[in-house]
Amino acid sequence: MIVSVIAKLFNFRPVLTALVGIVGFSLSGPIHGEEYVEWEAEGLAIPEPLGGLQGDPQRGKAVVIDRDRGNCLACHLMPIPEEPMHGTVAPPLNGVGSRLSEGQLRLRIVNEQRVNPNTIMPAFYKRPDKYHRPHPAYKTTVLTAQEVEDVVAYLMTLK
């Protein structure tokens, strides 16, 4: 059944183009096979780095820009003027590193729905089985634990 649906999907020429065509979000891109790391929130923050990993702000910036990864610019205005077309869906992230603590930033990236259940913002690191009907090629968290930490490290530089 699943196979037949996929086969069917790829029979639809216009559909294929549509998958790739939509602004900002494309279906292509690397998939990671990393083991999921459990995390715990205290209030509205995750104080401990995921898996005890250390983030790198330079890599974090790249993840934020990458349309297949963070794609944060689809919704947020950010101080990255070299990238065109930032979205107006979400509040600007300029200065967010002084507004929120590291732990608060981590929860927002991992699962903003803990802060606001109705938010449009995707959870970038919730338990993979908590995503509803993911395409078989995407049954993982959006970001790896390392990428989450990299993004946290980058946002902390936005003072």
Q: Which residues contribute to the site for another protein (CB under 8 A)? A: 2, 5, 8-9, 12-15, 17-19, 21-27, 43-44, 73-75, 84-89, 101, 104, 115-120, 122-123, 126, 131-140, 142
Q: Is 126 in the site for ligand HEC (CB under 6 A)?
A: no
Query: What's the rounded Cα separation, in Å, for the pair 26 and 115?
Result: 27
Cα 29 → chain centroid: 13
Q: Give CA–CA dist 105/150, Å, rounded.
A: 12
Residue 105 sits in the site that holds ligand HEC (CB under 6 A): yes
Closer Cβ to ligand HEC, 36 or 99, answer by number: 99
121 binding ligand HEC? (CB under 6 A): yes
d(C-alpha 72, C-alpha 154), whole Å: 12
In angstroms, the CA 10 to CA 57 distance is 39
CB of 119 to ligand HEC, least distance (A): 3
- Residue 78 phi, psi (nearest 5): -135, 160
Q: Which residues bind ligand HEC (CB under 6 A)?
A: 21-23, 25, 64, 70-72, 74-76, 89-91, 93, 96, 99-100, 105, 108-109, 112, 115-116, 119-122, 124, 151, 155
